[in-house]
Structure 1
Amino acid sequence: MKVVIAAGLFAPILTFAIALAAVSVAVKTAALLAVAMVYLGVCIWAYRNLGTDESSITGDDPPSDLEHDGAELHSRLIALEEAREFFGSSLRSEDMFRLVSSRVRELFPFRVSTLFVPDETGSRLTSVLANGDDAEPFALIESDVSKGIAGMAYLSGETEFDQDMKLERASRPDLDLSPFQSSVAIPLIHDGAVFAVFQLYREEPVTANQYTNDLLGAIGERIGPLFLSAQAFDRSLSSALVDPLTELPNERAFFLVLENQLAESQRLRDERPLTVIAIDIKGFEEANRRYGHSTGDRLLKFVGATLRAQLRKMDFLARSVNDEFLVILPTAASDVGEEIIERIKAGFETDKFDVGEHESMKPWLNFGSATFWKDGETGQQLLRHAQLRKQQAKSADTSKVLWFPKEYVN
């Protein structure tokens, strides 16, 4: 670089001297041409040997594993932007995270990537997603924002480096971090606030120079909108599959799960039985008229919570329409289904619903069940049989639909 600067300063001086020299025009022309050719040769030599990368000028050379020519680096960053335009809000967070990790790995090699999000108070971070070799231990890590470089990036809003893993080992003593030599944490910012931190664990060392900092900053600017879009898609899916009143899965979610369970039962037949239960509340309309719709809404929440408490962990409970609830019992034959129905009845015998300050009621339920293969092979067939048996149970029951014992409190 010094040669280029010296040539640049010397060439005008030499040109001026030739112009003033007392020689013929032909000699001056030849001399000026020679100066121009020499200067051109110096420039070509400098271009080939020194390069034109800005990192060479500043002295911030990229590490050997980050070497990209300018065009390649630009095209890979553009690929991140195109991912947003192509996928938009059509990928869930898990799928988007895998896609982003794959693209970022081409720009900045790493072994494990994690996504940390803050809690509502902003005092703790949780790694909700992890990707890479042996990434499972990195999922669902919880820590205070004062610990680790993820917390530092969340608080500072700037990319943070752990060049020797001392900070990470001190903040996460339960994790085996021996395979890693360095880590970086990239804050993801929206409207001036950090909404997540993208942390990378590397098997190679990293230098915290201007080149690396600019590269990671450019990555953060491009992947932030991708994660925001995925989170919005998650929320839309959740609202589309959840009953807003009881916060249980809705009928659409019920059929999605049922089709998946039926596929297993159809494949394994007798080895994997399946039972569906349809449930509603006796005299629910009367309760609504007598106590009002707000009390009816609380009754639906109460029944939903009580049902869920009586079911197995593997069972799936959903609210259908009005006062109807639907249950999927995987691996349950008809006799197991009847046992679970009796357990639910026993639970409602002991649990009472408080209508008001001085009055409680004991809800009674109608049940109907259907078992795969015996009562039908499709989801619609099973549900239709379960609902028919529930209606038959209503017709056969001549007892009062609800019992409303009054309890007066002094």
Structure 2
Amino acid sequence: KRVNFPYPVEDIVRYHHEKWDGSGYPKGLRAEQIPLVARIISVVDFYDATRCDRPYRKGMKREDSLALLQKMAASSFDPRLVDLFTQHVTEFDALIGQQDIGEQVASENIDLTNKARPDAGLASDVLGAPDGSTGFRSITQAQREVFALHEIAQTIGSSLNMNDTVSLISNKLRAIVPFDTCIIFIVDDRLGRAVAMHVLGDHADLFARRRISIGDGITGWVIANARSMCNSSPELDLGGLPEDIAHNYRGVLVSPLIREDGAFGAITLYSKGRTSYTTEHVRLLESVAQHAASALNNAMTFEKTKESALTDQLTELPNARGFYMMLEQRLAECQRLNRESLALISMDVDDFKKINDQWGHAIGDRLLASVARVIRKELRQMDILSRYAGDEFVAIMPMASQTMSEMVGERIRQAVAAHKFSVRTGKSVTVTISIGVACFPVNGETTEELLTTAARNMQRDKHTRKNLLNLSTMPTPARIDHYT
């Protein structure tokens, strides 16, 4: 508005997504309320977009584009403008430059007045319908689709388990939309990428490892733009897969999983025998995706709530509640496996209060998270490290003996002491930790017995090391007096 264009640019930009029936955005204007120039642009833009190939679908012939435009008149577009545009479309096309007209899909010899083509019956109203398709669905197929959609709507939210939900979605989807491989992607906010949460069909082991950056490829584009995409080359989405596998896929259809704050995932279908999906397939997948998005969002919320109840938010380690649950499970396993050994290592950061007093609690929190990472690196993959309380950590080591756990504890002590922790730009500090070990079944057979023993040994280690430090700073006569 401040630029003062000689043309109503603001109206075009602001209102060209409004629809004739009032279902558009941003204001939901309808009919004559939409500025005339915005109504004109929306018709022209639709025609231009559907005539040319796009990364997400193939372009349409002139007659197919006009047929779809007229079908959407009175719902999306001003019907009078659609009629006027159709009458003069050949004149408009003649005004287009050769380079631009070359991007359009070639049209057939068709009389636009009565919409008849040579030897043609009813024109297909589907996008990218396979050759020989009549556009009609059998009553049996329609009934199967309606039943499948109803079953999905009824059962898809019956479980809050993420794995059960994604498995149900993919299995039910197979009854109504053809595919050889179905992948359900969920955006991992920590990675900033879409992760293959579930795969059904061919090459599931390969696709299960897929990680897609938002905006990359077909699936990434769908998530970034919250719009479905079909009939593009599947190879745009299959980078990193072996060529002999990627070349076997001929069709792709992707619909976003959308919640209030935007797309959080996508359902991606790949086909080996079908080069294109129809608008009917798009409609069905979008319907499934709508139900699936709600169920998956509920399952994710449940998982996050459960995880947050058992996870320390600062270090992302199990908290005390999570620690107790996992230790009880491990002890029960040890009892079943002929009293197999298990070790606890209790660790406490020495003089952590001084860190908080000198540098502040924010720096102290950051230091604790760094200490947790250092400790984690010294443990085995099977070991469980938890933040038990404040500056205290406890590690569970299945199948570890007293000797092994003491050796690991000493290795952790040395690693932490050798690490320089940054507290501000150009300034680092070092810290030490006290360590105590307890083993099942030698030092106890219950959670409380093992924790008590490990904590007692940790306190003994702390006091012993403090006494040695104090002695080392005393003059020689004082040290002699200390022991006499």
TM-score (norm 2): 0.59
- Quick check: 380-389 or 143-152, which moved more? 143-152
Q: 1:79 aligns with which of 130, 151, 155?
A: 151
- Residue 170 of structure 1 and its aligned partner are, at CA, apart by 7.1
Q: Structure 1 residues 231 and 208 mapped into 2: Cα distance closer, same or farther (>3 Å)?
A: same
Contact 1:273 1:332 in 2 (8 A): yes
- Quick check: 289-298 or 223-232, which moved more? 289-298
Q: Secondary structure at the match of 1:68?
A: helix
- Residue 275 of structure 1 and its aligned partner are, at CA, apart by 1.0
Q: Secondary structure at the match of 1:366?
A: strand
Q: 2:309 aligns with which of 221, 237, 240?
A: 240
Contact 2:413 2:435 in 1 (8 A): no
Structure with the greater relative contact order (CA < 8 A, sep ≥ 6): 1 or 2? Answer: 1
Q: Residue type matched to 1:235 in 2?
A: K
- Quick check: 276-285 or 168-177, which moved more? 168-177
2: CA distance, partners of 1:321 / 1:194: 37
- Quick check: 325-334 or 243-252, which moved more? 243-252
CA deviation digits over 1:240-261, x for unaligned, max 9? 2221223322122223333343
2:150 pairs with 1:91: no
State the number of aligned residues.
342
- Quick check: 332-341 or 164-173, which moved more? 164-173
Contact 2:421 2:430 in 1 (8 A): yes
Gaps of 5+ in 1: 1-53, 403-410
- Residue 303 of structure 1 and its aligned partner are, at CA, apart by 2.5
Q: Structure 1 residues 360 and 400 mapped into 2: Cα distance closer, same or farther (>3 Å)?
A: farther
2:258 pairs with 1:189: yes
| Alignment-derived partner of residue 312 in structure 1 | 380
Q: 1:276 aligns with which of 344, 354, 365?
A: 344
Q: Structure 1 residues 121 and 381 mapped into 2: Cα distance closer, same or farther (>3 Å)?
A: closer
- The structure having more radius of gyration, on CA atoms, is 1
- Residue 173 of structure 1 and its aligned partner are, at CA, apart by 4.0
Q: 2:441 aligns with which of 373, 378, 402?
A: 373
Of Structure 1 and Structure 2, which has the larger fraction of its residues in helix? 1
Contact 1:148 1:171 in 2 (8 A): no
2:135 pairs with 1:60: yes
2:325 pairs with 1:250: no
Q: Structure 1 residues 225 and 354 mapped into 2: Cα distance closer, same or farther (>3 Å)?
A: closer
- Residue 385 of structure 1 and its aligned partner are, at CA, apart by 2.2
Contact 1:249 1:317 in 2 (8 A): yes
CA deviation digits over 1:51-78, x for unaligned, max 9? xxx99xx94234x8x95343x5334322
| Alignment-derived partner of residue 219 in structure 1 | 288
Q: Residue type matched to 2:407 in 1?
A: E
Contact 1:61 1:211 in 2 (8 A): no
Contact 1:163 1:181 in 2 (8 A): no
Q: Structure 1 residues 117 and 354 mapped into 2: Cα distance closer, same or farther (>3 Å)?
A: closer
Q: Residue type matched to 2:207 in 1?
A: F
2: CA distance, partners of 1:333 / 1:396: 24
Q: Residue type matched to 2:390 in 1?
A: N
Q: Secondary structure at the match of 2:338?
A: helix
Q: Structure 1 residues 189 and 292 mapped into 2: Cα distance closer, same or farther (>3 Å)?
A: closer
- Residue 292 of structure 1 and its aligned partner are, at CA, apart by 4.4
- Residue 346 of structure 1 and its aligned partner are, at CA, apart by 1.6
| Alignment-derived partner of residue 8 in structure 1 | none
Q: Secondary structure at the match of 2:337?
A: helix
| Alignment-derived partner of residue 107 in structure 1 | 176
1: CA distance, partners of 2:394 / 2:230: 51
Could you tell me the percent identity over the aligned residues?
A: 28
Q: Structure 1 residues 297 and 229 mapped into 2: Cα distance closer, same or farther (>3 Å)?
A: same
| Alignment-derived partner of residue 365 in structure 2 | 297
CA deviation digits over 1:186-208, x for unaligned, max 9? 22233484332201234653763
Contact 2:179 2:271 in 1 (8 A): yes
Q: Secondary structure at the match of 1:106?
A: coil
Q: Secondary structure at the match of 1:205?
A: coil
- Quick check: 131-140 or 149-158, which moved more? 149-158
Aligned pairs for 1:156-235 within 5 A = 157-162=226-231, 172-173=241-242, 176-177=245-246, 182-191=251-260, 193-202=262-271, 205=274, 208-235=277-304
1: CA distance, partners of 2:224 / 2:361: 47
Q: Structure 1 residues 192 and 376 mapped into 2: Cα distance closer, same or farther (>3 Å)?
A: closer
What is the Cα-based RMSD across aligned positions, in Å?
3.9
Q: Structure 1 residues 335 and 188 mapped into 2: Cα distance closer, same or farther (>3 Å)?
A: same
